[in-house]
Structure 1
């Protein structure tokens, strides 16, 4: 579960035409249930729950990759898990939540109004006891747990040069903060986060806050920034053009992606490549953050 994933050079015609090298850190291949960046964000809270002999309580939506991974990890490690889900108990369970339930997660449904209070100090205590993990693993432990994944993102493939540009999709901003915190100041490397929700510009402040909480306001990081405009209509929205991009990208590269994070990440990279916005000769390392279980929410992808 916590083995650094392999780096794969993509055979992508668009990258070849642009004269760049695109490598993919295939964190999606680590585990069928606890894939991508989720395992790394969870590893320290899981260790603390085991040490303290406590359960874990967290929150998410009906298609939450975070809750899906947490439930599977809890089942394997013998840790009780409790998921606070934004939604209505009378609604049919999504396949994601059905998996979580089958892995022993207790599911409690909260209204949208109450869910908006999830960052309040007493939110978790209203619903039970246990090690609290914020939505998406967005906490100091989540940031610190990403250190091995961050090193894998920056290390050169044997016999090759190190990447000059690292790209990753952003939801809570935890993975971006974890990568920046672990890598420290590093010449010749730029790290770019691609927010996939509306108001992605607000992520600057969240990432800076996570960095300050993790290592202090003076913490050194690589040069970093955000590529905005990747939301494609909003979080988890998948317009026809994005579905068509997924179909084309998967046919060309053989790498499966999903509409919430990774498809929007690669579509944004494709835009930059097609418009000559990345210098020829650049070596790019892209994090595939998993989440492929979420494809089940998009009927147009079921036939692929």
Structure 2
């Protein structure tokens, strides 16, 4: 589903958003795309367990738990932060993942940094037996194959610019691979630092893309009062909910760049809504504890 943002924009610019958040109630947005072919591969290999990694409010953790429940897999989540083990009921993401059948293994932040080391993976196999490993955030070649399906043939013909939020680089890599050479792709980084470009180059050969890291609002998972106020105002004007970690920062950035004259005349821009709305509840808990404005449109 594509919705037009019906506001006045200078230079005959048109702005649209693709509602990937509506694909599935649990496995929403880019997580649905990233898991599609990984689920097929796990079935092909006759695996019965999915194991993956994530933090306290990870969209990916919940999506894998949802995929396991829907497609008949056991699921294991290796969770960053030992202190969370006794606080599952206080964490809406982990509580829902557990409700969907996910088993947790809580590790220290130091140990978590070694999660890709062969010795750590061997330890996990000793503990849990055989499993299909899905990387943190879900990004691998099969995930990128799924993300290549976000753009339809009509999208490739109609839009001059494709923009999306960037976390691990998988979604934008898929979009780049399926784009036309005439289109420009812009990824809005949710993290500090410019290292994502190097990651993306491992998956793409085209050069019609760039990463903008000016709208991370302090870094991954960080928000400001300005951003929260923007999310509430945008919903009031459009009825489109945005998450504060990824899509909300992207939309803020696109609108700001339009005001600054970044996009050429007659640009037709498609923003990709990558989901992540489940994380709002946890974000609101944190904001309320600091007596700050909360995201007002989320009730789930």
CA distance in 2, matches of 1:180, 1:78: 32
Match for 2:176 among 172, 180, 189?
Answer: 180
Q: Does 1:20 align with 2:13?
A: yes
CA distance in 2, matches of 1:125, 1:180: 35
Q: Which residue of 1 aligns with 2:149?
A: 148
Q: CA 1:237–1:120 in structure 2 vs 1: closer, same or farther (change >3 Å)?
A: same
Aligned residues: 281
**What is the TM-score normalised by the length of structure 1?**
0.87
Give 1:53 deviation, angstroms: 2.6
Q: CA 1:182–1:196 in structure 2 vs 1: closer, same or farther (change >3 Å)?
A: same
**What is the TM-score normalised by the length of structure 2?**
0.88
CA distance in 2, matches of 1:35, 1:131: 21
Q: CA 1:27–1:152 in structure 2 vs 1: closer, same or farther (change >3 Å)?
A: farther
Matched position secondary structure for 1:63: coil
CA distance in 2, matches of 1:76, 1:153: 31
Tell me how large the CA RMSD over aligned residues is: 1.7
Matched position secondary structure for 1:233: coil
Match for 1:66 among 60, 65, 68?
Answer: 60
Higher mean alpha-carbon deviation, 279-288 vs 142-151, is at 142-151
Q: Does 1:195 align with 2:189?
A: yes
Q: Does 1:206 align with 2:199?
A: yes
Q: Does 1:301 align with 2:297?
A: no
Q: Which residue of 1 aligns with 2:234?
A: 249
Q: Which residue of 2 aligns with 1:214?
A: none
The answer on whether the counterparts of 2:228 and 2:295 sit within 8 Å (CA) in structure 1 is no
Q: How does 1:211-222 map to 2 (within 5 A)?
A: 211=204, 219=205, 221=206
CA distance in 1, matches of 2:55, 2:64: 13
Match for 1:288 among 252, 255, 273?
Answer: 273
CA distance in 2, matches of 1:248, 1:205: 35
Give 1:12 deviation, angstroms: 3.1
Higher mean alpha-carbon deviation, 168-177 vs 144-153, is at 144-153
CA distance in 2, matches of 1:173, 1:152: 22
Q: Which residue of 2 aligns with 1:215?
A: none
Give 1:52 deviation, angstroms: 2.4
Flag structure 2 segments of 5+ consecutive residues without an equivalent: 285-292
Flag structure 1 segments of 5+ consecutive residues without an equivalent: 1-5, 157-161, 212-218
Q: Which residue of 2 aligns with 1:229?
A: 214
Match for 1:7 among 2, 5, 22?
Answer: 2
Give 1:126 deviation, angstroms: 1.7
Q: Which residue of 2 aligns with 1:116?
A: 113
